[in-house]
Amino acid sequence: MANPTHILGNLDAVRRRIADAAAKTGRVPEAICLVAVTKSVGIAEAQALYECGVRELGENRVREALRKQDALAALKIHWHMIGHLQTNKANKAVGKFVLIHSVDSLRLAHAINAAAERAGAADVLLQMNVSGEQTKSGFAPAELEPALEQIRSLQHLTVRGLMTMTPRLDDPEEARPLFSSLRKMRDRHRKSMPTLEHLSMGMTQDFDIAIEEGADMVRVGTALFREE
C-alpha cells in the first residue's frame, strides 16, 4: 500500500505537470480538474488523497465506487464514474456521481435519462472512440452529431462535454492528434449545444499533452500511487 507521504510526493509531481502544461496554453492550474483514479487502490489511499486536498475521485466500476463512497461518506468527495457502465446499472449509478464520463451508447443515455427522471438530474460526458480501435467503446466521430440530436430530447440528462481514452502508446506524442480532434469536435458542436464545455482526456502516460491540446479534466491513477 502506498503510504500518504508517498502519495503526497506523487501528487506534487502530478500537480507540477498540470501547472506546466496549463501554462503552455495560457491557463492557470485551477482551470484543470484532476480526477484522481482510485480503482486500483483501497479506501486508505483514497482517504490519503482527500487529506492532501484532492476532492475529485474517479472509479470505473459502480459496485467498487459505492463501497468506497459508503466508507468515506463523511468526507466531501465528488465521485466521477469513468468506466463502462452497463445499461442495467444506470439506476445504481445515477445520483451517486457528479459526472458520468463514459456514456458510450444511445441506449445507455436513455437508461440514464430514465433513472434521472426518478433520482434527479444527471450530468454526463459522451465517450468518443477517436482512435477507431475496434476494442474501444464509444461513439465514432461520425456518430456524434446524430447522437447529440437524439440526446437533446432527453430532459433529465445534460451533456457537459466529451471524453476519450487513448490506446497504450510507446510515444505519448502519438496521442496529440487524437486529443486535438476531440477538441475540434467539441468546438464544432458547442455552438448548437452550449453545455458541451468539458474535455476529459489524458491519463498518466499523456495528460500533459492532453492539457496542451485543451483538456480541462484529466483522469490520473498510476502516477499518484506508484512507488519507485
Ligand X SMILES: *Cc1c(COP(=O)(O)O)cnc(C)c1O
Residues near ligand X (CB under 6 A): 37, 39, 60, 82-83, 165, 203-205, 219-223
Q: Which is nearer to ligand X, 10 or 154 (CB)?
A: 10
Q: Which is nearer to ligand X, 116 or 224 (CB)?
A: 224
Q: Which is nearer to ligand X, 21 or 154 (CB)?
A: 21
Q: Considering Cα of 38, then 74, then 159, then 115, what sign does the dihedral take?
A: positive
Smallest gap from residue 81 Cβ to ligand X (A): 10
How many residues does this entry show for the chain?
A: 228
Smallest gap from residue 47 Cβ to ligand X (A): 19
Q: Which is nearer to ligand X, 80 or 186 (CB)?
A: 80
Angle, CA of 128, 129 and 132, to the nearest 5°: 155
Smallest gap from residue 176 Cβ to ligand X (A): 17
Cell numbers linked to 211: 492539457
Q: Which secondary-structure segment (H or E) carries 161?
A: strand 157-164
Q: Is 26 exposed, middle or buried (0-12, 13-18, 19+ CB in 10 A)?
A: exposed
Smallest gap from residue 95 Cβ to ligand X (A): 21
